[in-house]
Amino acid sequence: MNHRIFVEPSRDPCLHDIKWTATARRDDLPKTPVLSLIRFKFRPEADFMDEQHVAHMLWQQSLVFISTVSGFQRLLWAPISDESRRVEFQLSFGLGLLLPLLQEVPFLNHSVTLPLPLCFAAGPGHFLELVELRWIEEEWQAVVESLRTAPSDSGFPGLVCGSGGWFEEQLPLESRTFLGLLLWRTPRDAITWTPHQTVRHNLQALIGHTIRQSSLVTASMHDCSSSGTSLAARSSVSLAAYSGTIFQTQISPPQYTSDKDFEYQTRFDVRARKSIDEVASRRRICPSPEAIWCPMGAMGQGGFPTFQDVPSPAAAPTVDMLWLQLNNQHPETLSLVHRLRLAIYNSLGFPRCRWGRETSQGAPGAGVCRMGILIEWKKTPQPSTWAQLHTLVDEVVSQADGTITRSSPSITRYCASIPTDQPCHLELLSLFLVDAECPKRILWYAYQRFTSTMSCPTARGQVYIHPSPTLAARPVAHGFHDEGGFDPMIRFSASTVWASAAAREEWYADFADQAASCYERLGYIVDWVQLVVESAESAVLELEPVDAEVLEWWKSGRHQAMSR
């Protein structure tokens, strides 16, 4: 196998033989035949053998990505049989796309120079045995030869081939380790591996030197080559479910690209540094999306979200959005809505309130707009509070004589918090997916990674402009909503504050460009979302300042006195 990966736990993962001080754009793998071995333990619900399961789809996309790496030849994989179902794999390459499905931090991706005979191949009844030894290369070769010439017996496994090599040293002065690999073929009807007595006798010579021994028993090994794996790009029709969101971005199938625009020593991508220069010269409204490049073929914690469970629905702050449709041409419309906001504040326990017009949708008619009133409760509303809210809305609707109507749905809950009284644009996002552990974990990791691309450049380049980059894009909250009942779907919502509509448009255009042009830069984030999300909705409101009466009451402390 013509590839090798090295992962240093204290730094970001990198391709082997590329120094941290190097700035070369070429990331071809070394020409020396090398076998890279890594063992992952996946979460029990990740069923890779079910072709309809999301884990299987992600697995296939990972194979496609790996097969596009320059120098790739073959990948052999097999599930390990143990008492806890098929939750582990022995892989010959790291797979970053599978991160949300891992149960624990993977071990270091060991590499070993290992010449593989032509007979080393997938086949029915084949299984691997790995033996890690110390300083025993000569003895190993003798054992392999004796196993190869052992008397054949139809009732016991036969050795297809054997090979071995030294593990690459991971740390200075580390004791060297020799890896022995044996490929066996089990009898046709064999269920468990029972080695022949001669095999046992020959293996006894290694027991005193053995560090670790593992038999990877499987019904069959699977082979993936660079010429036999491909995926088609998603059509524009299939992306209609994400209309109005950044996740409608058309990306290419997983593809490794050698030109990263990435500076290894500083861990920043060149595109982000250029955008900082543009911000300093006031040629940009906001910084471009930050992409700390990680080779999706390498595994490690650096540059990836940490391992964590998806939080409960109650973990994120929430607001309720009251949607109304207004006819702006009627002179009394805005005053009626103003009275409604004050009535909500005075009658329902002084919740925080803001309002704004939706700017993300086309106008439903001449002079007609959609307006939202954000309500952030101090404590969970009681049924009587909801009834009182609907009564207040119905009174205003009846007084408006058709110029104010309820929008559908009239009230929607989002994971968000009401921003300060400064003018801004608030984006509210809803994503709908199957209520199952694997899709939820994948989406959670995807959105965590998505929000990390909005980091402020002031921490990197100390660049300050007006408006401040800290306000250009600020993620507020995100999480899942437990609606109760037996609905097989679950809703995920998120909120982001933008300094202006132009800042959002510029940032999204830059994100879409990077995601479409480089899969491992930002494209894999979009791929995660498109893989698990069934549909998406987005609304952007241009928020108006808090009503003057409310601000005055807060300054005077009236709300505190009346709430006692």
What does the pLDDT read at residue 440?
93
Q: Are 440 and 490 in contact (CB under 8 A)?
A: yes
C-alpha–C-alpha distance, residues 16 and 72, integer Å = 14
Yes or no: say if 282 and 500 are a contact pair by the CB < 8 Å rule.
no
- pLDDT value for 11: 33
Q: Are 376 and 355 in contact (CB under 8 A)?
A: no
User: Could you tell me which of 160, 163, 157 has the C-alpha nearest to residue 200?
Assistant: 157
393: closest CA among 319, 328, 483, 326? 326
Cα–chain-centroid distance for residue 27?
24
Going through 26-82 in order, the beta strands assigned E by DSSP cover 35-41, 74-79
**Residue 390 CB neighbour total at 10 angstroms:** 14
C-alpha angle 320-494-370 in degrees, rounded to nearest 5: 50
Half-sphere exposure of 13 (CA within 13 A, CB side): 23
Per-residue pLDDT at 428: 95
Block means of pLDDT (10 residues each) for the chain, 564 residues, are 30 33 38 53 79 86 77 67 34 53 57 68 68 67 74 67 72 64 68 54 60 54 67 80 93 75 58 72 76 50 48 78 86 88 90 89 69 90 91 92 84 89 88 93 90 66 46 86 81 93 89 87 90 94 85 66 50
Name residue 91's beta-bridge partners: 38
Query: What local confidence, expressed as pLDDT, does residue 141 receive?
Result: 76
Strand partners, 179: 132, 165
Q: What is the pLDDT of residue 122?
A: 66
- Which one-letter amino acid corresponds to residue 20? W
Q: What's the confidence (pLDDT) of residue 33?
A: 46
pLDDT at 528: 92
514 vs 12, 161, 425, 509, CA distance in Å? 21, 46, 24, 9
pLDDT per residue over 498-519, tens digit each?
988 888 998 999 899 989 988 8
The 3-state DSSP class for residue 12 equals: coil
Task: Return d(Cα 190, Cα 194) in angstroms, integer.
Answer: 9
DSSP state of 307: P
Q: Tell me the pTM.
A: 0.76
- 3-class state of residue 146 by DSSP: helix
Angle at 6 between CA 56 and CA 73, to 5 degrees: 55
Instruction: Please work out, in degrees rounded to the nearest 5, the angle formed at the alpha carbon of residue 307 by the alpha carbons of 105 and 90.
Output: 35
CB 157 within 8 A of CB 190: yes
Q: What is the pLDDT of residue 184?
A: 75
Task: Return the structure tokens found at 217.
Answer: 């028993």
CB 101 within 8 A of CB 55: yes
